[in-house]
Amino acid sequence: MGNDGGSIPTRRELVKEALRNPTTTELKETQNEQQEFHWSTDPLSKRPLSRPIVSDSSGNLYNKDSILEFLLPSEDGSSKAEADSVLQGAVKSLRDVVEVKFEVDVEARSRSNGSARVESWVCPITNKTLGPGVKAVYLVPCGHAFSDSAIKEVSGETCPQCNEPYASNDVIPILPTAPADIACLALRAKTLGVKGLTHSLKKASSGGKKRKNNAADTELKSESLDVDAVQTKPRNGVRQYTTQFPDAASLPSSGIKDPTTASIAAKVLEKQELYNKRRKTENENLRSLFSSRDSNKPSGKSSDFMTRGFSIPAKPKR
């Protein structure tokens, strides 16, 4: 038996195998498993990757609706902290991500006969399948994805699909594993930050007078759009007014120009509203289980499920 006072096991008896470094084969297998996971699964929601797909400055892939859920204010602190640990501060707004436009393999979809499966993406130039084991890149700012060999073979610095110009450091590796690629992406993000630009080459939000003016304009708009004065009956000769706030359905649109982003934002807001209603109902149900104890009433009528049952009677006063 051991560890009962009768015998003391030695380290040689407890440690059967010495600690060793993983072999090259084991490292490659682990790397392939990680690549297969990140090429098919969103690390934030743990759901399969489905278009629209976005990427941050490190080349990681996410579902766009997961990024919108992260950016919207939420009361769930645990999920927010978990998302922060995954993103590591790389995404603070939609300007920090670029929508990656993959070419879907139509033949693979037809062979699947409509069965549920992850989409297969190919390079539009070489027809190579983009996924684990193939080095793939996308261009900023257009977001079209190709194989790395195709971009190196194509002459010029314009996108082969949309003819939009790009710089040499705007070729972003997708899910990079080489230390040189990771270091280049980190240097690019740092350089853009010094220039006041985001990963999508858009200007980062600046402070100062512009931010104050925007805050003032937002406050004025909220006062003019969201608050309606309603006249009530006069009391003591003075007319009173109360403010009524409209429902979420009657509020104006969010002003998002992209129809895809607007539809995803609407779905996320609807999901969050349902979550808040469900949470409020649960709190009311939990509060109904408890009741305040009234000393004038018998314990059987004013007790709740925590105090109901046997109780010691009070001693009679003499």
Closest residue by Cα to residue 80 from 52, 44, 105: 44
Burial degree of 149 (CB within 10 A; 0-12, 13-18, 19+):
middle
**Where are the domains positioned within the chain?**
24-195
Mean pLDDT of the chain: 76
- Report pLDDT for 253: 47
DSSP letter string over 223-239? Answer: HHHH-EEEE---BTTB-
d(CA 189, CA 221): 35
The pairing of beta strand 53-55 with beta strand 129-130: unpaired
Q: According to CATH, what is the number of the domain 24-195?
A: 3.30.40.10
Q: Kindly report the CA angle at 240 between 235 and 242, in degrees rounded to 5?
A: 135
pLDDT at position 1: 52
Per-residue tokens: 137? 């890149």
pLDDT of residue 8: 80
pLDDT category at 15 given cuts 50, 70, 90 is confident
158-177 pLDDT, tens per residue? 999 999 999 989 999 999 99
Most confident of 177-181, 253-257, 309-313: 177-181
Where are the extended beta strands (E) located within the chain?
Answer: 53-55, 61-63, 98-100, 103-104, 121-122, 129-130, 136-139, 145-147, 171-173, 228-231, 241-244
Q: Tens digits of per-residue pLDDT, 216-266?
A: 555 544 444 443 444 444 444 444 444 443 444 444 445 566 777 777 777
For the chain, percent of residues with pLDDT exceeding 90: 37
